Amino acid sequence: MKNYTLIIILLLFVSVTSNVWSQGQIYVSGPNTQTTITSNSPTAIAPELTISSTENITDFTVSVTDSYSTNDAVGFSGNLPSGISTLGWNATKRAIVFKGTKTAEEWQAFLRNLTITTANVCSPETRKVSFIAGETFYNPLNGHFYKITTFPSNWLPAKAAAASDSYYGNQGYLVTLTSTAENTFVSRLIGQNAWMGASDDYLQINEALGYTLYANQAASEGKWYWVTGPEKGRQMSTANRVNIGSVYQNWGGGEPNNAGEEHCLHIYSNNGLWNDFANSQNIYGIVEYGDMPGDLSNSSQEFTQEIYIQGSSSGTISGGNVTVCAGTNSTTLTLGGFTGSVVRWESSVDNFITAGNTIPNTNTTLTVNNISTTTYYRAVVNSTSPSTCNGLVTSSAPVLVSSAVSGNVFAVNTTICDGSDVDLYLSGQEGEVQKWQRSSDNSTWTDIASTNPTLIETVNTVGTLYYRAFVQVPGCGAAVVTPSKSISVVTGTPPQGGTVGSNTHFSATNSGTLTLSDYTGSISKWQRSTDDGLVWIDITNTASTQSYTNIAEETLFRALVANGSCGASYSTSGKVEVIFTPTITDFESKIAAQGNEVVITGTNLENVIQVQIGGVDATSFTINSTSKITATVPSGATSGAITVTNPGGSDSMSGFVLNVPPTDITLSSSSVVENNALNDAVGQFSGTDPDTSDTFSFALVAGKGDADNGSFVISGSNLLANEVFDFESSNEYSIRVEVSDNYGNTYQKALIIGVTDRNEVPTDISLDNTTVTENSVVGYI
């Protein structure tokens, strides 16, 4: 299903007394490269895995999500980090779960060392291994995430707990299983009977639809609907065991049968079949995350690493991983890169979580025609090179099928007053919105040129209006149309939600009162949210003030204001912020120079407004998470303490040592004898530095005195001749040298190199007069 980020606020919320589970932002990523392994050799899966988060992370799951072989296992070497536990590799779930809470940096360091082992070279050529934050399972078939509720409960509390949950920007809901592939994936993971998000209870159906369709239970009996998730409001049956063919279902034999007020859906863990249960049953629930209207896209909760098995004999299928339209389509898959024969091909809608379907084809090509569901294909081969492997399966190749699903239109208010806005949103759709339409009689329609999954427009006419949306997969046939949504427009004054004030505290022991102002209408209730407004929890309160005590984390509050039949409007949110005094537990490096970075670790660092190093404000600092700050050593800093400050207080840790720059450069010899050889040593540099343990490097640099830099080279700490010098041509050369210590501090100096005259052996004799007159006297010149 295509994801959309909506700007509307959901109408239906759940009143519960338990705490809301929520997280901040997280980014799990890695390079787009393949890890190569050999059989029977544990190899690091993702040595360049990167994890960052605004807060500590509880639990991590690592699973093989593609081309799994029974010989595969994910493990680790050495000891687990303190506070982390695991039950080890689970071959049924194809995963290993690590339990405990660590910073992002600690998880990254540990998970980079996880290894994968495949015990047999006779296995598929590739794997995919996913790293997922939390004890949460990632389904690559639809991009959704799943987990089990913490405790068993009746269906209603399980539904409320799921709706009160969020997972790094994704709203939770009691699971909706909408395909064979998803049903198989989930039933393999859960390990026990569990609740799902469907019901034929008339109150649940009416709530999901947003209006009263059924007056009593007799009217809704056997008419099962999805009542949670993106699919809420989608009807599954018209009577018990009279199913709507276009909607996926997997009922067990003779089910549903309403054997004693059974109006809630659950799934059996052993076979994935569905059954109706009474709300009074006490079992776990499955929480699903993905494709909800209003989901945020500011996190990346998982990273998948591709693995290549060196020496595998299976070959590779090309031509797959393409998207086709449902119905009339054709795709050719080709097996290459292997030596041997094809035994058969196989297909699967769940990527071979269960056994595949046999395709009697022994060719290296397979043409797939006119499929209507995303399907995975693989070949079974007898290979002879590089290893002899009989009955070897290849890695799978998917043919992705796209078809439009209309979804349902929902309204923030189904009754509004003239002059106010109708506020609509689409949920459960697959495809792109082509347009909206409006009608006053549910028959004659007027186009609205909007391709957004939300629609907000001002209505000035009293009466009943109907709205619907057209959804289409581009290039895949005509658009499908949603059921129409009716809106009653009456005379009156629209409510004004008003504004809620905010408070700040510096301790979890706190109390206060928030006041709603500038509102018009009657207050219906208040709500609170601890995940920045993604999920809201109802508070029974109709007063214009809301009291609170002992708020331990940032919490938003708002009020819902109604005015007669004119609908309702939410106030702007007020915030209760709790800023705890920061603490420093450590910092690195203990010795640093101006411009170096110092990494500070501790707690409650998210609201820090000042970092001082050696009594001077850091040049800059970055708050990486609640437990990490990276700061730059400023000019003027001295050895001493590092201090972090937020509005709630400050904390310091001593032990910082400022590393200062070198103060001089000396050369052991500043002259060279003429007629030298190239690379002859002139002398050796040394540096002077108050930090006596520093090491140095030297370089020729541009600047004053660099006129003859080209005549010399530096190797290590030695100055070497880069030309043959001649005293008679030039006897003095100027160079500029920079010394750098191991902390990046520098010092520059211009030096003069002299050329020494050599007492050279005569090489010729000349005479100015080579003749003499005969009979010259003795001594004649």
For residue 761, pLDDT over 90 is answered with no
Task: Please tell me the number of Cα atoms within 13 Å of 183 on its side-chain side.
Answer: 17
For residue 419, pLDDT over 80 is answered with yes
CA distance 686 to 664: 8
Paired tokens of 29: 């990523």
774 part of a folded domain: no
Whether the Cβ atoms of residue 699 and residue 740 lie closer than 8 Å to each other: yes
Last residue of a domain, one of 554, 578, 602: 578
Q: What is the mean pLDDT of the chain?
A: 92
Judge if 222 and 89 occupy the same domain.
Answer: no
Whether the Cβ atoms of residue 269 and residue 93 lie closer than 8 Å to each other: no
For residue 587, pLDDT over 90 is answered with yes
CA distance 385 to 115: 27
Instruction: Say which CATH number the domain at 330 has.
Output: 2.60.40.10
For residue 486, pLDDT over 70 is answered with yes
Candidates 446, 489, 488; CA nearest to 468 is: 446
Judge if 338 and 390 occupy the same domain.
Answer: yes
Instruction: Say which CATH number the domain at 40 has.
Output: 2.60.40
Tell me what pLDDT residue 718 has.
96
DSSP per-residue codes, 606-654: TT--EEEETTEE-S-EEEEETTEEEEEPPTT--SEEEEEEETTEEEEEE
Whether the Cβ atoms of residue 534 and residue 573 lie closer than 8 Å to each other: no
Q: Kindly list the distances between the CA atom of residue 569 and the CA atoms of 292, 423, 577, in Å, as whole numbers in the listed order.
A: 22, 11, 24
Tell me what pLDDT residue 739 has.
96
621 part of a folded domain: yes
Report how many domains make up the chain: 7
The larger pLDDT score, comparing residue 618 to residue 19, is at 618
Tell me what pLDDT residue 760 has.
67
CA distance 329 to 477: 12
Bridge partners, 20 (sequence order): none
The larger pLDDT score, comparing residue 8 to residue 173, is at 173
Rg of the chain taking only CA atoms, in angstroms = 37
Instruction: Say which CATH number the domain at 704 has.
Output: 2.60.40.60
Q: Kindly list the distances between the CA atom of residue 27 and the CA atoms of 47, 62, 167, in Å, as whole numbers in the listed order.
A: 16, 15, 13
Judge if 283 and 163 occupy the same domain.
Answer: yes
678 part of a folded domain: yes
10 part of a folded domain: no
Judge if 190 and 276 occupy the same domain.
Answer: yes
CA 334 vs. chain centroid, Å, equals 34
Whether the Cβ atoms of residue 499 and residue 572 lie closer than 8 Å to each other: yes
CA distance 590 to 383: 59
Segment 527-565, tens digit of pLDDT: 999 999 999 999 999 999 999 999 999 999 999 999 988
Residue 749 domain boundaries:
664-756
pLDDT band at 244 (very low <50, low <70, confident <90, very high): very high
Per cent of the chain over pLDDT 70 is 96
Tell me what pLDDT residue 33 has.
94
Question: What SS3 class is residue 520?
Answer: strand
Judge if 379 and 437 occupy the same domain.
Answer: no
In what helix (H) or strand (E) does residue 162 lie, and over which residues does it extend?
A: helix 155-163
Residue 739, judged by CB atoms within 10 A of its CB (0-12, 13-18, 19+), counts as: buried
Taking residues 377-406, report their average pLDDT. Answer: 95
Last residue of a domain, one of 598, 632, 659: 659
Judge if 381 and 368 occupy the same domain.
Answer: yes
Judge if 466 and 536 occupy the same domain.
Answer: no
Last residue of a domain, one of 525, 556, 578: 578
Tell me what pLDDT residue 270 has.
87
Judge if 232 and 167 occupy the same domain.
Answer: yes
7 part of a folded domain: no
Judge if 590 and 568 occupy the same domain.
Answer: no
Segment 127-168, tens digit of pLDDT: 999 999 999 999 999 999 999 999 999 999 999 999 999 999
Segment 306-351, tens digit of pLDDT: 999 998 899 999 999 999 999 999 999 999 998 999 999 999 999 9
CA distance 557 to 537: 9
Whether the Cβ atoms of residue 161 and residue 430 lie closer than 8 Å to each other: no
| Contact residues for 371 (Cβ-Cβ < 8 A; gap 6+) | 324, 326, 329, 399, 401
Beta-strand relationship, 732-741 and 137-139: unpaired
For residue 515, pLDDT over 90 is answered with yes
Tell me what pLDDT residue 367 has.
98
Residue 432, judged by CB atoms within 10 A of its CB (0-12, 13-18, 19+), counts as: middle
For residue 14, pLDDT over 50 is answered with no
Candidates 296, 368, 357, 282; CA nearest to 330 is: 368
Paired tokens of 305: 């690493």
* Start-to-end C-alpha separation, the chain: 114
Segment 72-129, tens digit of pLDDT: 999 998 899 999 999 999 999 999 999 999 999 999 999 999 999 998 889 899 999 9
Q: Kindly list the distances between the CA atom of residue 170 and the CA atoms of 3, 41, 438, 636, in Å, as whole numbers in the listed order.
A: 11, 38, 31, 46
Judge if 152 and 242 occupy the same domain.
Answer: yes
Segment 464-473, tens digit of pLDDT: 999 999 999 9
170 part of a folded domain: yes
pLDDT band at 3 (very low <50, low <70, confident <90, very high): very low
556 part of a folded domain: yes
Judge if 89 and 156 occupy the same domain.
Answer: no
Which has the minimum average pLDDT: 208-212, 645-649, 765-769? 765-769
CA distance 67 to 163: 33
Judge if 383 and 426 occupy the same domain.
Answer: no
**Virtual torsion, Cα 518, 524, 530, 533, nearest 10 deg:** -70
533 part of a folded domain: yes
